Amino acid sequence: QRSSTAMRPAGPIHPEPSAEFMAGVCQTDVRVQRLKIRMRDGSRIAARAYMGERTVCGLIWCHGGVFARNSAATDSELCKALARKGIGVVSSSFRDGPFFSHPQAVRDLEDVARHARSELFAGLPIGVAGGSSGGYHALLLGVRPPDDEPFAF
């Protein structure tokens, strides 16, 4: 008969982050930069970049809004909270219904992701996430990442 202790891992599965890491990650100051990102058709889309003092990774945030409402400013407090933890965030508006048809929103978010990779988070791991209908856009963006460069998370 096996001992129940034999089934447990020797150490913690997820070790506690070091004090140095936490000192660099738990930040109070967040810089919010308003951007106009150029799309492939030449138009510009409003966006906001949220950066803490030290950014360890980036995130493309896709806002929700029933596929027809809201903007880059919709989830500002969430984006600031992520930036305080070391996750730089770019939240952008995108063209969606009822005046633009699918897949225009995803095309706009692809262009935002390209801009984020080259201008905001160069050399950092980048993820994509969203809330509500923005989660759907994030899923589409993650399945077919721009330039076939997969997202880290």
User: pLDDT tens digits for 42-62?
Assistant: 999 999 999 998 999 999 999
For 92-123, write each residue's pLDDT tens digit: 988 887 888 888 989 999 999 999 999 999 99
Give 49-118 as a DSSP string. Answer: EEEESS-SEEEEEE--STTT---TTTTHHHHHHHHHTTEEEEEE----TTTS-TTHHHHHHHHHHHHIII
| Res. 2: pLDDT tops 90 | no
Q: What is the pTM of this model?
A: 0.77
* CA-wise closest residue to 33 among 95, 97, 120: 120
pLDDT of residue 140: 92
- DSSP SS3 for 36: strand
**Half-sphere exposure in the Cβ direction for 119 (13 Å, CA):** 15
- The mean pLDDT of the chain is 83
Distance CA 136, CA 123 (A): 26
**Which contiguous run of DSSP H or E holds residue 138?**
helix 133-143
- Which tokens hold the place of 9? 């891992």
